[in-house]
Amino acid sequence: MNLITQFLFELQAITNLLWRSIKGLAKKPRYFSDIIVQMDQIGVGSLGIVVLTGFFTGGVLILQAYPTLAYYGAQSNAGQGVATALIRELGPVLSALMVAGRVGSAIAAELGSMVVSQQIAAMRALGTSPVRKLVTPRLIAMLICLPLLTIAADLFGLIGGGIVANQLYGLDTNTYVASVRTGTDINALLTGIIKPIFFGLLIALISCEKGLTTTGGTAGVGVSTTQAVVLSSICVIISDFFLSKLLQSALESTLF
């Protein structure tokens, strides 16, 4: 099977899983308690690593950019550069990659273990839909939590950049905050919210699909987990380019 054929089959499986998840929302039961549990595991469980990533990313951006800006006498614009880079690109992408590594692997491993231990087959035998019970709650929780995690990463990234700029380079905090406000426009905010919604959709669908199609016993669980993380990460990075171009064109033509 060549790569194009494999890609088309994967795309078909993921699209079918998305359609079944959406269709299942109109039917009872809806498993609201499972959604809350998944939000706790995805959102609260990932908060620490996402905040840590955002904080030090903002610090590194200032650490690398400030000397160059100071050389040209533009150090007062340091906050603007950090805000633009974090909110538009690094915040959404890095948060998605962290969640893909932590949550995507857990979803694929959990569902894969249920497949090889015949729990999924038992659910079907009892008349319970695995998609409505297992996939839909994870999908909804991911769509809610990843944008919130991205906002947290952006916020702490700006804080980290401000601390580095003030403590290492002596930049006045008020100057930094004013510069951050300049770089935080409506286009950047909309881009920073829309991207993680799409990334969350990709991560949840790919991880669930890989978990539910696990074969080969317990060894296959590890393979599915690895494939889920790698494929999710690749799709996030590739889709980021096309989303950036699409949003750039759409938002600039709409708002300006």
What is the per-residue pLDDT across 189-245, written as a single tens digit (0 to 9) for each?
899 999 999 999 999 999 999 998 888 878 889 899 999 999 999 999 999 999 999
Domain residue ranges in the chain: 31-255
pLDDT number for residue 108: 93
Whole-structure pTM over 0.85, yes or no? yes
CA separation for the pair 7, 97 (Å, rounded): 21
32-72: per-residue pLDDT in tens?
888 999 999 999 999 999 999 999 999 999 998 888 888 88
CA angle 97, 99, 101 (to 5 degrees): 70
pLDDT number for residue 154: 94
CA separation for the pair 6, 3 (Å, rounded): 5
Nearest to 104 by CA among 217, 236, 193: 236
Q: Cβ contacts of residue 70 below 8 Å, gap of 6+?
A: 169
CA separation for the pair 160, 154 (Å, rounded): 10
Q: Which CA distances in Å does 229 have to 130, 134, 182, 211?
A: 21, 18, 36, 11
Q: Above 60 in pLDDT, residue 255?
A: no
Exposed/middle/buried for 163, CB within 10 Å: 0-12, 13-18, 19+? middle
